[in-house]
Amino acid sequence: MKVVLVSSTGGHFNALCQLSSFWQRHQCTWVTFRNSTTEKVLQGQPTFWAYGPTNRSLKNLVRNLLLSAQVLQQAKPDLVLSTGAGVAVPFLILAKLMGIKTAFLESFTRVEDLSLSARLALPFIDKLYVQWPQLQDKYPQAELITL
């Protein structure tokens, strides 16, 4: 299966890396911001560098939307998987419109409400995973991960 993995840097990227036992079985294309960590980790992996920062930046939203069209066109994935944050929104929306499955794993740190990125992309997410029961009460479509 072909998968596009999209996230911002820091904790979100770290989370995506921690899902390796899932994605290593598939053909992956990465989308994240460029920094010393992501450059090192993604060396030799098919990667597209996204435009940051994404919050309240209309310019970068437009750039990332154009990038998402390019990535989805080229990679032709079966699935777009994201751990957040804002950079994921255009990718999830466009993927869903193109008939590509979308999955979003909400951060462990979100207890009482979804992140803004997840709320924005919610209608375009096929599978939403959360860690805290309060969140699933609020968003019944989410899948609760019980530890």
Segment near other proteins (CB under 8 A); pick from 17-25, 43-51, 65-73: 17-25
Give 81's strand partners: 5, 103
* φ and ψ at residue 133, rounded to 5 degrees: -55, -35
Compare residues 63 and 101 and give the one whose CB is closer to other proteins: 101
Q: Which is nearer to other proteins, 62 or 119 (CB)?
A: 119
CB of 97 to other proteins, least distance (A): 5
**Ordered alpha helix ranges (H), the chain:** 11-17, 20-23, 36-41, 58-75, 88-97, 116-121, 133-138
Rounded to whole angstroms, the Cα distance separating 3 from 28 reads 5
Residue 124 binds to other proteins (criterion: CB under 8 A): yes
Radius of gyration for the alpha carbons in the chain, expressed in angstroms and rounded: 14
Helices H / strands E in the chain, number of each: 7, 7
Stretch that binds other proteins, among 43-51, 57-65, 66-74, 117-125 (CB under 8 A): 117-125
Q: Which residues bind other proteins (CB under 8 A)?
A: 1, 9-11, 14-15, 18-22, 25, 53, 55-56, 76, 78-79, 81, 85, 96-99, 101, 103, 105, 107-113, 115-116, 119-120, 122-124, 126-127, 129, 131-132, 143, 145-147
